């Protein structure tokens, strides 16, 4: 709240500076040149301050727009998460897997990666997945690394948490 007061004070000062500048310009045009020569240093200082103030105002507005964009992006993410939670809770059995598969499609996982991701969600280890799929452990490690990269997750716990968090009740 304090920064808002500072911004308002600065904007008031800026508007007053513009008014002084306009009055000075009118005065300069209406008086003979010798009056202007006496005050040219003062006038140049005022004009320089107004110019610098303009840059500062533009910078402040730019920072505000960036902050609003971040808040907007966070709000959209939260809305998306709440909608996903609602779709899951409408029909928990089918809703969970439908949402999980839809999310995997959004992440552009291949069919093989989707199958492995489902096994990860079911709690299988990489060794168990390798045995079930009859592939080498190294292949499964590479595929799970690809899944985590595409989903922007850092590991199995974060990956599973992403899908289970919407099912948890709100904290008191």
- The answer to whether residue 82 sits within a structural domain is no
CB 116 within 8 A of CB 147: yes
Tell me the pLDDT tens digit for each residue of 50-59.
777 777 878 8
The mean pLDDT value for 77-93 works out to 72
Full residue range of the structural domain in which residue 22 is found: 2-74
57 shares a domain with 6: yes
138 shares a domain with 112: yes
61 shares a domain with 109: no
Residue 139 has pLDDT above 90, yes or no: yes
123 shares a domain with 58: no
Tell me the pLDDT tens digit for each residue of 33-46.
666 566 666 777 77
Q: Distance between CA 113 and CA 96 in Å, rounded?
A: 18
Tell me the pLDDT tens digit for each residue of 87-137.
666 666 667 777 788 888 889 999 999 999 999 988 899 999 999 999 999
- The answer to whether residue 85 sits within a structural domain is no
Half-sphere exposure of 42 (CA within 13 A, CB side): 10
- The answer to whether residue 55 sits within a structural domain is yes
Print the SS3 string covering the chain: CHHHHHHHHHHHHHHHHHHHHHHHHHHHHHCCHHHHHHCHHHHHHHHHHHHHHHHHHHHHHHHHHHHHHHHHHHHHHHHHHHHHHHHHHHCHHHHHHHHHHHHHHHCCCCHHHHHHHHHHHCCCCHHHHHHHHCCCHHHHHHHHHHHHHHHCCCCHHHHHHHHHHHHCCCCC
Number of domains within the chain: 2
- The answer to whether residue 155 sits within a structural domain is yes
Residue 166 has pLDDT above 90, yes or no: no
pLDDT of residue 117: 92
pLDDT of residue 110: 92
70 shares a domain with 14: yes
End-of-domain residue from the set 17, 45, 74: 74
Q: Distance between CA 116 and CA 135 in Å, rounded?
A: 12
- The answer to whether residue 106 sits within a structural domain is yes
CATH number of the domain within which 156 lies: 3.40.50.2300
- The answer to whether residue 7 sits within a structural domain is yes
Residue with tokens 């008086």: 31
- The answer to whether residue 105 sits within a structural domain is yes
pLDDT of residue 89: 66
10 shares a domain with 62: yes
pLDDT of residue 150: 93
Buried b (16+ CB within 10 A) or exposed e, 88-104: beeeeeebbeebbeeeb
What mean pLDDT is reported for the chain? 81
First CA to last CA distance, the chain: 28
End-of-domain residue from the set 26, 44, 74: 74
- The answer to whether residue 25 sits within a structural domain is yes
End-of-domain residue from the set 43, 74, 105: 74
């Amino acid at each position: 709240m304090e920064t808002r007061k500072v911004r308002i004070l600065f904007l008031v000062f800026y508007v007053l500076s513009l008014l002084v500048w306009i009055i000075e310009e009118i005065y300069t045009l209406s008086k003979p040149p010798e009056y202007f020569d006496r005050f040219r240093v003062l006038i140049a200082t005022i004009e320089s301050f107004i110019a610098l103030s303009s840059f500062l105002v533009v910078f402040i507005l730019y920072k505000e727009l960036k902050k609003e964009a971040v808040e907007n992006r966070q709000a959209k993410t939260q809305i998306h998460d709440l909608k996903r939670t609602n779709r899951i809770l409408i029909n928990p059995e089918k809703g969970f897997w439908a949402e999980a598969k839809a999310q995997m499609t959004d992440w552009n996982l291949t069919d093989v990666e989707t199958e492995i991701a489902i096994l990860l969600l079911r709690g299988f280890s990489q060794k168990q997945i390798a045995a079930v799929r009859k592939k080498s452990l190294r292949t499964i490690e590479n595929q799970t690394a690809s899944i985590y990269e595409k989903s922007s997750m850092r590991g199995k716990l974060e990956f599973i948490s992403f899908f289970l968090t919407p099912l948890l009740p709100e904290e008191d």
